Structure 1
Amino acid sequence: MKRYLEEIQMARVYAMFAVLFVHVTSLGFAKTSPDSFVFPFYVLLNVLGKIGVPTFLLLSSLVLFYTYYEKPINRVTIQKFYKNRLLYILVPYLSFSVIYFFVKFFLDHAPVSFNDFIIQLSKSIAFGTAYTHLYFIVILLQFYLIFPFLLWLFQRYPFFRKHAIWIGILVQFLWVYTNMNYLQTPRKASILFSYASFCLTGAYLAIYYERIYNWIKDIKRSIHYIVVNFILFGFVWGIYSFLIYDIQTKRLIVSSLVHEVFWSGFGLISATFILTLSILSYEQISSKSKKHFLELGELSFGIFMIHPLILLVMRQLLSSGSPFVFHSWQIISAVVMYFASYYIVKWILLYVPHSWILFGKSSLKNMLIHH
C-alpha cells in the first residue's frame, strides 16, 4: 500500500491561500486607481493568487495517478473511483451551486419566471457559473470523467509516460489556438483543455514521484534545482505582474495568445515551486506545525467552497469609502474571511451529520484523534 502523501496536503494549503489572495484582492484590484501607490501591491497579490487553480489541478492529477497507476483497470476499480467522486465532489458542488445561485438571485432582486429560473440554474451548474470560483469544480469533474482513459494510456504506452509534460503543453496550446481562431467559446475557463499542461505534468510527476521526492528532500543533491526553481518562480511572478500592471495602466496592449503563454508558463512554474516548497517545508518544520498544516489540508476543500460567501457578506457591509477605509476594510475582510471559513468548516465537519454533502469526504476526526 502506498504511503499517505502528507506533503501534498501542505501543498494544498499553499494553493488554498493563493485562491484566498486572488479573491480578497479582486475588489481592490478592480476599484483602485492605477495611479495609487497601493495598486502595485494589489497586482502582486492578485497575480500570486492566480497560481491556485494550476497548483490544485497539478496536485489532483498527481494524487490520482500516484494512487491508481499501479492498479489494474477493471470494473471494480472504475466503479469505486466514480462513486467516490460523485459522492464527495459532485454532491458538494451541486449543494454550493444552489446556495450561491439563490444568494445571487436574492441580491439581484431581478424578477424572472419559474422556467427562466430553472434554465439559469441549470446553466450555472453545467458551466460552473453559479459563483466565480465554482468553474474549478467543473474542470475537476471533466478530468475525473476522462481519468480512466488517461490512466489506460499511461499504463499501455510508455510514450505518453515519458513525454506527458510536452504532450500536455501541446494539447493546451492547440486548444487555445483553435478556440481563439475558430470556436471562440466564451467559457474557455471552464473547459479542461485550457489546463492540460497542469494535469499531465501532475501525471508525469506522480509516476516518478518517490524518486523526485527523495531527491528534492536531499538538499545537498538538489540544491541547484531548488535555487533555480525559486529564482525562476520569483522571476516569472515579477514579469507576469509587470505585464498585468502595464495592461491595467494601458501602457501595453498584448494579444490573447501572448497573455495565455505568460499565464500558462507562470502557472506551471509556480505549481512546481509550490510542490518543491511543500516537500522542503514538510521535512524541516516541527511536528506541531505539521499537524496544523495537515488539519488545514483536510479543511482546504471546505474553505475553498465557502470563503466567497463570507467575503460577499463582508463586502455587503462596506463596499466603498475613503481610500484609507476601503483598503483597511480589504485587510479586515481577508482576516474575517479566513478565520470564519476555518472555524465554520471545522465545526461542521466535526459535529454536523452528513457534512460530506457540503464539504466532501474528510479524515479530520480520525486525524485529530491519532495526533
Structure 2
Amino acid sequence: MSTTQIARPAARASARPSHLYQLDLFRVITFAFVIFMHVLGATTFPQDVHSDAIEGLLHFTRQAFFALSTFVLVFQYRDRPMAVGKFWRRRVPLVAVPYVLWSVIYWAYSLATADQPPASTGASLRALVIEIATGTAWYHLYFLLVTLQVYLLFPLLMKLVGVIRRHPWLVLAVSGAVQIAVTFFLSHPPASVDYTTITRFYTTLLPYQFYSVLGAVAGVHLKAVHSWVLRHRWLVLGGLVVSLGIAEAGYFWNVHNGLWPEVASDAFRLYLIPWFVAAIAAIYLAGARWSEGRRRGSKAISWAVDRSFGIFLSHPLALALLSPLIALVGDGAGAPWTTIVVFPATVALTLLIVEILRRLPVSKVLTGRPSLRAVAAKVA
C-alpha cells in the first residue's frame, strides 16, 4: 500500500528495480481527493443535494486504491514464482498491525470524546473487538480490512495470471458482470434483506472485486495499457466527461424521484461504475504524462508517497480534532467557506501528525514506514 517500488521479473533479477513514477502521482492525487471527500462530508449537511452530488463522484478513491494495490502486486509477481507463506508473512503484518493499533486509537478517542461514559469496561472492550472484526472503529478503516482480504486471496489470483494474459477482455467481462449484479443487489436489496446485512458487504472484497481485477489485468498487460492510455488520451478525457454526465444525471434523477441525496450518492450505484473506471484511467493518464515529462515537483511527490499510508491512517483524526474550527467557520461563514478553510487545515495537521509519528521508534507499526532516524542511520 505504501510503495510503488516494483521489482523486475525474475529473468532480470540482477537488474536494478524499476520505479513506476506514474503511480506516485496517481497515489498523491487520489489521497488528496480522499481527504477532500471526508472534509466535504464533515463540513456539509448529510442531505445537502449539491455536496452529495460531489461526494458521490469522490467515491472513486476507494476503487482507485483497490485497483492500484492489486496492480502493484500482480506486476511484481506476474513473471516469477511466489512463496505463499513468505508472501503472507511479509505483507499481512504491514497492514494488520497498523490496522489493529489505529482501531484501538480511534476506539479510545471515541470513548474520550463521547457525551456519556461507557456502560462498563467490559462492554467497551467487547465493542472494540467487534469493531476490529468488522472494520468499523472509524469510517475509513474498512479499507485496511478489505486490503487484508486482497492479500489473503492474492495467491489464488496469481493462479489466474495465465488466463488474464490470454483472455483479458473475457476476465474483465465476467468480473464486470459480477460487479453489476453485486452493485444492483446493494442498491436495490430485496425487502427480506435488512440494512444491517447489506452494510456487512461493504467491508468485504466482493463490492470492489472488479476494480481489483482491473488492476490485475493492467499489471499483466502494463506495456499495452500504458501505450493505449497515452495514445488515446482524448478518448480517456472524453470518457471522463461522458461518465461524469451519466453519474450526475443518475444522481439527480434519483433525488428528483424521492431518494435521499446521501443514499443516491453512495458508492454502490450502477450509474457510478463508468465514472469510477474513467476516473482511474484519467488519473493514470495524468501520472503517465507527468512521468514521461520533466516530473516537476518530484521531490514533493516522493515525500508525500513515503508518508501516504500514515496520511491515510491519521487524517480522520486530524479532521476530528479540527471540529472546533468547523463549528467556528460554519457558524460565521457557512458553506462553501467551511470546506475551503478546513481542507488545507486538515492537510496541514495531518502532515504534522505524520511527521511526529515518523520520528517515533514505533513509526513502523503506526505508519507502515520505519522511523526517519532509522532511515537516516541506514543511509549513513
Question: Common fold, TM-score beyond 0.5?
Answer: yes
| TM, length-normalised to structure 2 | 0.82
SS at match of 2:80: coil
How much does 1:192 deviate? 0.6
SS at match of 1:25: helix
SS at match of 2:172: helix
1:58-103 CA deviation, whole Å, 9 max, x = no partner?
1101000000111113xxx223321222221111111111111111
Q: Which residue of 1 aligns with 2:3?
A: none
* Conservation of the 8 A alpha-carbon contact between 2:362 and 2:371: no
SS at match of 2:160: helix
The 5-angstrom pairing of residues 269-284 of structure 1 reads 269-284=278-293
Check if 1:8 corresponds to 2:17: no
Check if 1:46 corresponds to 2:55: yes
Q: Give the whole-Å Cα distance in 2 for the aligned partners of 1:98 and 1:8.
A: 31
Q: Which residue of 1 aligns with 2:40?
A: 25
Letter aligned with residue 328 of structure 1: W
Q: Which residue of 1 aligns with 2:236?
A: 229
* Conservation of the 8 A alpha-carbon contact between 2:164 and 2:217: no
Q: Which residue of 1 aligns with 2:4?
A: none
| TM, length-normalised to structure 1 | 0.84
Q: Give the whole-Å Cα distance in 2 for the aligned partners of 1:69 and 1:360.
A: 24
Q: Give the whole-Å Cα distance in 1 for the aligned partners of 2:87 and 2:354.
A: 25
SS at match of 2:340: helix
- Taking a change above 3 Å as real, the CA distance of residues 259 and 92 of structure 1, as seen in their structure-2 partners, is closer
SS at match of 2:269: helix
Q: 2:307 aligns with which of 287, 292, 299?
A: 299
Q: Which residue of 2 aligns with 1:289?
A: 297
SS at match of 2:244: helix
User: Could you list the runs of 5+ residues in structure 2 that have no partner in the other structure?
Assistant: 1-6, 9-17
* Conservation of the 8 A alpha-carbon contact between 1:9 and 1:297: yes
Q: Which residue of 2 aligns with 1:37?
A: none
* Conservation of the 8 A alpha-carbon contact between 1:154 and 1:161: no
Q: 2:154 aligns with which of 147, 151, 159?
A: 147
Q: Which residue of 1 aligns with 2:214?
A: 201
The 5-angstrom pairing of residues 155-194 of structure 1 reads 155=162, 161-176=168-183, 180-181=189-190, 184-194=197-207
Matched residues, percent identical? 22
1:18-72 CA deviation, whole Å, 9 max, x = no partner?
11121010033425754xxxxx3x3454234211101111110100000011111
Greater CA drift, 275-284 or 23-32: 23-32
Q: Give the whole-Å Cα distance in 1 for the aligned partners of 2:299 and 2:43.
A: 34
- Taking a change above 3 Å as real, the CA distance of residues 363 and 298 of structure 1, as seen in their structure-2 partners, is farther
Q: Give the whole-Å Cα distance in 1 for the aligned partners of 2:210 and 2:302.
A: 27
- Taking a change above 3 Å as real, the CA distance of residues 213 and 346 of structure 1, as seen in their structure-2 partners, is farther
* Conservation of the 8 A alpha-carbon contact between 2:66 and 2:211: yes
Greater CA drift, 231-240 or 291-300: 231-240
Q: Which residue of 1 aligns with 2:65?
A: 56
Q: Give the whole-Å Cα distance in 2 for the aligned partners of 1:339 and 1:317.
A: 14
Q: 2:93 aligns with which of 87, 98, 122?
A: 87
SS at match of 1:319: helix
Q: Give the whole-Å Cα distance in 1 for the aligned partners of 2:356 and 2:112.
A: 27
Check if 1:211 corresponds to 2:218: no
Over aligned residue pairs, what C-alpha RMSD do you find? 3.1
- Taking a change above 3 Å as real, the CA distance of residues 270 and 187 of structure 1, as seen in their structure-2 partners, is same
Letter aligned with residue 16 of structure 1: F
How much does 1:156 deviate? 6.5
How much does 1:247 deviate? 4.4
Q: Which residue of 2 aligns with 1:111?
A: 118
* Conservation of the 8 A alpha-carbon contact between 1:54 and 1:195: yes
